[in-house]
Structure 1
């Protein structure tokens, strides 16, 4: 019997994470046992290699400013599990989480006992908890972020009002395939018949795969750079000022609350999706509300400022495309400053390529470190070996204890320098707790 919040979390995290054969059959059966709580709600469904969380954060802020009630489901969490399931930007309470885990646990046991492949995975339970919570709260819209891929993701049991694909790049190849075409076909799995889809900037082969899928499903496509555009107006600034041109919205100008140039495209994708949702439900669009929403949007661990002098930033770039976006920001916004990087990366990522991207910059002082990782099956990479052959302007430091690493790196910096702690959202989560406690 699950009696406490901690026992509820142990129940969730104690489940297997993946099954050998991907399928939605188990998830649909699970939800049917629960009375199909996912039905009767309006969704914006979001997938992509990177940018999902930031896009959801900006949509949430813009929709809340517009007077709507908003549910959201995101992953991973940064500080506490409850952050994954939010209503109007407020995480689910410990009491509600415990109550809902107690509600679904008997059904999990039933499926464990009756299904040949066993009952629900950890993420399927997370998703079911969210659907049950949203069924109680009944928000005007639920922003639903995919866990991995799309086609077989446990969130892919709904028909949304709008589908969103932010980016397609190299990540989770073990599960999604080893070509961009294969990865894109998994992401395209969230496109539903006749439902409009918003696309961010995509590589050519990924774009062709997704456009072909949308055409087959007769889904209208809204592409960044073609059907809606965005431009940066303020040069080398950490917080970009943008001009957005959309379907009905023209010349929306705002300064983004989320820093970094990689948020420019995410903001445009968010606005386009909001436009389509509001239009579908014949809701008046308040330009000032959307502008305020983008200005006020916050998302922990995405170039998040945790110290001002010197500037210390946490950035959850955790794969090659994420690191490339961070490199772009450093080149644009910190080109005239010395940047000290403290980096830890999970062993199942392309860490050699990620380190190579960071080391290519002339104003970088690179320190690699180690952290516990989210579990024994996903350890932190041994970056000391990886950096042995990487050429850099400054020698690469190796400090195994990241807490000591922060202190040592800080002691080398002047007030005008920048420290960026990056490489993994799990690592950033640990560091964030350390700084904010």
Structure 2
């Protein structure tokens, strides 16, 4: 059994080579041994291609303002591992992580000797989260973010009060399928019999699949643009302003620090969920809680301003839809500024499309890499770009330091790509590990 956090994390991370094993059989086997702790939880299940983390954050802040104790299960982490399992935004303590790991450890070892085989790292982390929320720190509400897809994801063992599918786009095709319809079927797999689903999916093929699944499972369906709406009131002072309307509520001039019109959609999905749970499950939330919760929501690595002078923005856009949203947000806030992009990604992403998309907005592009098993090499990314002002660098720290040192008043440095890369940059930046001096021009 584990006595230290180092032992615990070593055990969790040594499961990584077992990769991704789609299916919930191993989860169900362990949960049966534990007498199904997941059944004691009141949960919301959040799936989709983009916007999951932001939607979880909007929901958490609203319910926290209303006095609920809110658990969240998210991935990957941006700052530290413990934030993946949080209560009211505070990551699980090392002591409780050890305690939860020790509860599941004997059953995981027993599972390894069955025909089902060794569970994956993500399955073990999901089990730790469930045990923590059910046996160690019970919450009024727990919001689970899907890890990959939905139907075969390890989080798909919960019976939520409501399911959310933020959108459906082309990502993780090697696991989910090569068409929007195929991917949508995986996402729609989180829809449970008789459980309402709220979605912002707008692709006709995705909506067709979601509608068919909801109808077959007798699940009430709320569709963005039909059952609920937002009106964009414009961007001002690094905030978004919008109105929201559903059959249950109407809010005027809400503001959020989450920048970009795509965040208005994520906020709308969260608000529709709040409306539904208030109406049918008596999860009572006042108007002031909604206003304050939306206003105070922030999510690391989502168009996050790391520095004002020089202006540095961090964004974990890692698929075509995410990069499109990033490009739109750059134009919305920094029209007329000189956009300098530092880009790193994973090999299995649709980098050719993403490089072309962000290149339309960037004045210069620097391609780099980082220390991660599946990271794309700088020269691979460089070769995909036809940008007239492009460069490559094998060391992102040196590249970023040079960009910072040479930045002028009109420059906006956009650091983007893989969330693993974003996490690494963010930690280095905030710990003051990156040192730079202003150029003579700046001085």
Is TM more than 0.5 here? yes
Counterpart in the other structure of 1:432: 426
SS of residue in 2 equivalent to 1:76: coil
Say yes or no: does 1:297 pair with 2:292. Answer: no
Q: How does 1:14-413 map to 2 (within 5 A)?
A: 14-16=14-16, 22-113=22-113, 115-135=114-134, 136-235=136-235, 238-361=238-361, 363-373=362-372, 376=373, 378=374, 380-388=375-383, 390-392=385-387, 394-413=388-407
71-80 or 200-209, larger mean C-alpha shift: 200-209
User: 1:386: how far off?
Assistant: 3.6
Structure 2: unaligned runs, 5 residues or longer: 432-443
Structure 1 gaps of 5+ residues are none
Measure, in 2, the Cα distance between the counterparts of 1:184 and 1:120.
Answer: 26
1:142 is paired with a residue whose SS is strand
Q: Structure 1 residues 269-278 or 245-254, which shifts more?
A: 245-254
Aligned-pair Cα RMSD in Å: 1.6
CA contact (8 A) 2:39 2:159 kept: no
Q: CA deviation at 1:338?
A: 0.8
CA distance, structure 2, for counterparts of residue 83 and residue 117 of structure 1 = 29
Distance 1:337-1:137 versus aligned 2 partners, 3 A rule: same
Structure 2 Cα separation of the partners of residues 81 and 21 of structure 1: 21
Q: Give, in angstroms, the shift of residue 111 of structure 1.
A: 0.8
1:283 CA drift (Å): 3.8
CA distance in 1, matches of 2:78, 2:176: 24
String of CA shifts for 1:263-319, please: whole Å, max 9, x gaps. Answer: 111010111111111222224331111010011112111111111112111111111
Change (3 A) 1:20 1:351: closer
- The residue number in structure 1 matching 2:413 is 419
Find the aligned partners of 2:344 and 2:319 in 1 and give their Cα distance.
11
Question: Cα deviation per residue 1:127-178 (whole Å; 9 max; x = unaligned)?
Answer: 1100111113221111010000000111111211110000100111111111
What is the rounded CA distance, in whole Å, between the counterparts of 2:283 and 2:195 in structure 1? 18
2:337–2:410 CA contact under 8 A, matched in 1: yes
Displacement of 1:108: 0.9
Contact 1:238–1:261, Cα closer than 8 Å, also in 2: no
How far does residue 87 in structure 1 lie from its aligned partner after superposition? 1.0
- Cα displacement string for residues 345-374 of structure 1 (whole angstroms, at most 9, x for unaligned residues): 01111111111111122x52111111012x
Deviations 1:35-89 (A, max 9, x none): 2111121111000011000000010001101111111100000111100001121
Bigger mean CA deviation after superposition, 231-240 or 13-22? 13-22
Distance 1:162 1:347, change over 3 A: same
The Cα shift of 1:259 comes to 2.0
Separation (CA, whole Å) in 2 of partners of 1:67 and 1:142: 14
Q: Normalising to structure 2: TM-score of the pair? A: 0.94
* Alignment TM-score, normalising by the size of structure 1: 0.95
Q: C-alpha separation between the residues in 2 aligned to 1:364 and 1:274?
A: 41
Matched length:
430
